[in-house]
Chains A and B, each alone.
Chain A
Amino acid sequence: MKKGIWLGICLLLFAGNIPAQESGQAQFIVISKAPKKARVAIPVFKVKALSVESFALGEELSDLLGKDLQKSGLFELIPRESYLRSSQITPDVEDWNAWSILGAQAVIRGEISEFSPGQFEITLKLYDVLVQKAGLTKIYKGPKASLRRMMHRFADESIDWLTGKRGGFESRIAFVSNKTGRKEIYFADSDGFNSMQITDSKKLNLSPAFLDDSRLYYVGYERGNPDLYLIDIFSKQKTLVSGQTGLNISPAVGPAGKKLAFSMESPGNNLDIYIANPDGSKLQRLTFNPANDLEPSWSPDGHYLAFVSDRSGSPQIYFIDLYRGSEADGNYPIRLTLKGDYNTSPAYSPDGRYLAYSRRIGGQMDLFLIDFMSEDKKTEVQLTSTPYNEEDPCWGPDGRMLIYSANPDGNYDLFMISIYSKEPVRLTDWASDETQPVWSQNLFERGG
C-alpha cells in the first residue's frame, strides 16, 4: 500500500513534466532498477528543554536523522539554506506550497521535549508533501543515551514508509581495531558511535561474526594459537568453540543461527571448511581438497555456501550445494569468479539476490557484486573503483547497504555504501586500523 502511494507520487510528478500522451513511458522509468532518490527536508527539530545543553539536541538529532537517510542512497537531503522563510520554524500550518517549490517530496518535523531532567519524549512526523498530511508519526520516550538510537529507528521507519522494507540503521556493528596497539574486537552503533571494546586479551583478536543479539564468534590468540571463541558482548563471558592446534578461523553463522561454518586444518595440513552446531559440536568436514578453503558465507536459505579457495592457484570464490553432501561424496564446488587473480570475502545478501566480494585490480582491492537475478544470473557490478583498498564487505539487514573497510588515508577505516547510489560514506576516522566489520541482522534490546 505504502509502495503504491509512492509509485503514484512518482508517476504524478513525472506526468506533470511531460505531455500526457507520453505518460506510458513514465511507468517504464519508475520500475527501472535504481530507485530515484526522494527529496526530503528535515528542518531543525523544535526543543522544549529543562537544561541549556539540551537545546543543542534539535540540530544534532535532525542532522543525525538526515545523515542516515542520505547514507541509505534512497533520499536526497534538501539543504536548509535553500528553505523558504516560512518553512524555517515549525509553523502551526505547514506551507505546502513552499515545500513544493523546492521539489520536496517529504518533510520530517521533530519535537523534542525534556519532560523530566535527562528524560525525553520525541514526536517525529514524516509529511507526504503531495497529499499534504503526515504519512508516518512516531513518539519515542527515553533517557538521553537512547536519543541517537531513536533517530536510527525513525530512519529505518522512514525507509520502510518509502520502500516497504525497513532500513538497518538501528542494528549494531562489530569490527576489529588496533587502537590499543593490539587488534581487539569492538561493538558499536551502525554509524560507529558508542563504540565499546569487547575483547581485552592484549593478544590478537580477529574475524567477529554475530550469532544472535548478544553473542559473537571471533578468532583469538590468547592460548598462543588462533582459536575460535564465542563471547557474550554484554557479560564478556567467553567459551572455546574450536581449539585444534593450527588455524581455527573464518566463522560464518548459518540461517537463524542454527549452524556454524568455519575453517580448520585437516589431517593433510591444509585448511578445509567444516560445518558444526553453534557450540562447535557435531563437526562435519565439507571440503576435501589439498588447497586452502576458507571465508565461508551462507546463502540465506541455507542451501548454498560460498567460500574462497586457492585450489586453482590463486584465491577465487566457489560455491557448494549443501543439500548434496560433502566434497568427498563427489559434490564438487563450482567456481563463481572467473575474472581477476585475487577474489576474496564472499558475502551473500540477506535476500539471496547478490553476492558481494572484493577483487584485486591493479594491485588494489575493489568491491564487486554478482547479481543472481540478472538475465544471465551472474552479471557483475563494480561498486567501488579507487586507487586504494576496499575489503571485507558485509551486508546490512536490509540487503541494500554494505559495510566494509578501506584505507584512503593509509590506515583502514570503516565505510558504508548503498548498492543503489554507490556513494561511500565514512563511519570512523580513527588514527588506527579498523577492519573486518560485520553488521548484525538483529536488534539489540540489551545494553545502552
Chain B
Amino acid sequence: MVRKICGTVLVALALVLAVSCGKDAKKAIDDAQIALNDAKDAGAPEFAADEYKSAENLLTKARDEYEKRDYKPAKADALSAKEQAELAKKRALDRKAEQAQKPKEEETSVAYNVPSLGEQEVPIEEQARAALKDVNFAFDSAELDDLAKEILVNNAKWLKDHPELKVQIEGHCDERGTEEYNLALGERRAKAVRDYLVSLGISPSLMSIISYGESMPLDPGHDESAWTKNRRAHFAIVK
C-alpha cells in the first residue's frame, strides 16, 4: 500500500518536473526566436549570414528536440541559438555601420580628383532617367494621345543624340482588370510607343519591349490618381 502511494507520488513528481522542464525549454525557445527576429531586423541575414544561419539551425534543432520532448538538450540548444542570434545581430550592426562609412570615403576621393572643374559628369543612366519621360494612357487603352506624342517626340530627340544607347520600353497597367489581360495590354502599350518612335526615325534594333502588366505600379495606391500614374510606358537603358 505504502509502496503504491510512494510510486504514485514519484510518478506525480516526475510529471511535474517534466512539465516544468518543458516550460523552461519552451521559454528558452521563445526567447531565442525573439533574439533571432531582432537579428533579422538588424540585417543579419545579409551582413552576418553565417552567424545568422547557425542561430537558425540551432533553433530548429531545439524545436525538434522539444517536439520529441527532449527538454534538456532543447533548452541548451535554444540558449546557444539565442547567444548566436545576439552575436549575429551585433556583427550585422557593426558591419552595416562600416559599410555606411565606405561610400563617403569614395565620394571624397572623387571630389579630390576633380577639384577645380566643380561640376561632375552625370552618369548616362541618370541623364536618361531625367530626359526620357514616361507616357500615360487611358483605361484599357494603348492609344497615344497628343500629350503622349509630344513627350515621345522629345524622347526621340534625346535618343537620336545618344545612338550608342539601347532602351527597353516597359508597358505597365493599373491594378484594375485581370493580371493576364493586363499583361497583354501592357505589351500593346509598349508596342504603340515603339512603333511611334520608329515612325520618328529611331531604329527598331535599338529598342526592345517588355510588359509588366499590373505587377510593378509606380504608385501603390488604390485610387484614380495612383491608377493614372500607373498606366504608363517607361524607358529603361539596357546595358
Minimum C-beta distance from B15 to chain A (A): 10
A250→B180 contact, CB < 8 A: yes
Interface size on A, as a range, is 35 or more
Which residues of A355-395 are within 8 A (CB) of B? 358, 360, 363, 365, 389, 391-392
Inter-chain CA distance A265–B211, complex, in Å, is: 12
A226→B215 contact, CB < 8 A: no
Contact flags B212-231 to A (C-beta < 8 A → 1, else 0): 11011000001000000000
B184→A271 contact, CB < 8 A: yes
Is B43 among interface residues, defined by CB-CB distance under 8 A? no
A249-B183 contact given A226-B211, A269-B191, CB 8 Å threshold = yes
A207→B140 contact, CB < 8 A: no
- For residue A207, which residues in chain B have a CB less than 8 angstroms away from its CB? 179-180
Count of interface residues, chain B, beta-carbon cutoff 8 Å: 25
A204→B210 contact, CB < 8 A: no
- For residue A358, which residues in chain B have a CB less than 8 angstroms away from its CB? 178
Give 5 A-B contacts (CB < 8 Å), ordered by A residue: A294-B184, A308-B180, A315-B140, A344-B177, A344-B178
Which residues of B19-39 are within 8 A (CB) of A? 19, 22
- For residue A435, which residues in chain B have a CB less than 8 angstroms away from its CB? 179
A294→B181 contact, CB < 8 A: yes
Which residues of A192-236 are within 8 A (CB) of B? 204, 206-207, 219, 224-226
B68→A226 contact, CB < 8 A: no
- For residue B188, which residues in chain A have a CB less than 8 angstroms away from its CB? 292
Is A35 among interface residues, defined by CB-CB distance under 8 A? no
B210→A294 contact, CB < 8 A: no
Is B187 among interface residues, defined by CB-CB distance under 8 A? yes
The 3 A-B residue pairs with the shortest CB-CB distance, nearest first, are A292-B184, A344-B178, A295-B180
B177→A246 contact, CB < 8 A: no
A308-B67 contact given A225-B210, A269-B191, CB 8 Å threshold = no
- For residue A269, which residues in chain B have a CB less than 8 angstroms away from its CB? 191
Inter-chain CA distance A342–B182, complex, in Å, is: 12
Minimum C-beta distance from A288 to chain B (A): 17
Inter-chain CA distance A391–B179, complex, in Å, is: 9
Partner of A308 from B19, B181, B209, B213 at Cβ < 8 Å: B181
- For residue A219, which residues in chain B have a CB less than 8 angstroms away from its CB? 183
User: Which B-chain residue is minimally distant from A145 (CB atoms)?
Assistant: B67
User: Which B-chain residue is minimally distant from A269 (CB atoms)?
Assistant: B191
Inter-chain CA distance A263–B213, complex, in Å, is: 15
